[in-house]
Amino acid sequence: MTDLARYSRQTLFAPIGLQGQRRLAAARVGLVGCGALGSVVAGHLVRAGVGFLRLADRDYLELNNLQRQMLYTEADVERRLPKAVAAAEHLRAINSEVVVEPLVADLNPFSVVDFAEDLDLVVDGTDNFAARFLINDLAVARGIPWVYGGVIGASGMTMTVVPGDGPCLRCVFPEMPPPGSAPTCDTAGVLNTAVAVVGSLEANEVYKLVADPEARNRDLLTVDLWDLRFEAVHIARDPECPACGQRRFPFLEAVEEFAATSLCGRNAVQVVPPPELVWISVRWESGWRPWARCAGTRSCSRSSWRGPLSPSFPTAGR
């Protein structure tokens, strides 16, 4: 049973009140990514009393994460914990009333439908467009609201997507940027203050979607903390949008595609093979040649390696 007394300062805020707090306690939220944005969002949601929080992250903690990933400690790094597991430990210590379900897994076309099962909404804590386009495909196809957020340097943006009521992410970005064309935290850095602001705006949108849906953000909100600029850009729904206009969902349906994504903040590339025995080929200076044979379905848990690279394999493969 929820102890409403712990949320007394929150329920005094009229747009939430006791009724909104009860709605928060009944809400089931999915958070994709437990890194910089994800750790801020998760901390807010658990402290605010969201009833159920499902976390998905494929990565393990490193020392350079602590500058911007607010939930974690040096002890977590020393224990070499997966982010989802470490996050769940801290979140349960913050609020034992909240059910926190950690998944050490990648979000890909093989796993995303199961991840979203029985959720009311999804929040973006990721660091790449491939994951966000996949979330958008899922949300629009299934009619699930979601909150987009991104940060680089001292700047960031966020947008709330409610399928059927306004634009989706692909109304703003019809296609993914070409590989290497968009700055990342590896090339442009990132300030923890920008992470905290954008993550807080994302969490605030969750409160509104649950307690007061009409109050939600209907624009693309951009912030630049270094130059102190805040702007709300109106985005109209595009009838020719590949997702919400034409109802095409290639990122959700591309279960036969072979995908590789550079991981922000790591000298690593995640590889997602199709669900069968595959050969992974790597382009050396002499050209393409077989590098590893992965056995299994989705994790490449057993392999024979040829080459100087050092692999690591979480549940969904990398």
Between CA 56 and CA 50 the distance in angstroms is 17
Concatenating the DSSP letter of every residue in 140-178 gives HHHT--EEEEEEEBTEEEEEEE-TTSS--HHHH-SSPPP
244 is catalytic: no
Site of tokens 């630049």: 224
| Token pair recorded at residue 51 | 């009833």
Is 88:100 a contact under the CB 8 Å cutoff? Answer: yes
Neighbours of 96 (CB within 10 A): 10
- Kindly give, in sequence order, each residue whose CB lies less than 8 Å from that of residue 312, ignoring residues fewer than 6 positions away: 60, 268, 318
- Kindly give, in sequence order, each residue whose CB lies less than 8 Å from that of residue 220, ignoring residues fewer than 6 positions away: 157, 158, 159, 172, 232, 233, 234, 235
Is 108:259 a contact under the CB 8 Å cutoff? Answer: yes
Eight-class DSSP state of 263: P
Tell me the angle at which helices 192-211 and 17-26 cross, rounded to the nearest 10 degrees.
Answer: 100
How is the beta sheet containing 219-224 ordered, strand by strand?
A: 99-104, 52-57, 28-32, 121-124, 146-152, 155-161, 219-224, 229-234
Q: Say which of 185, 264, 294, 300 is annotated catalytic.
A: 185
Catalytic residues: 185
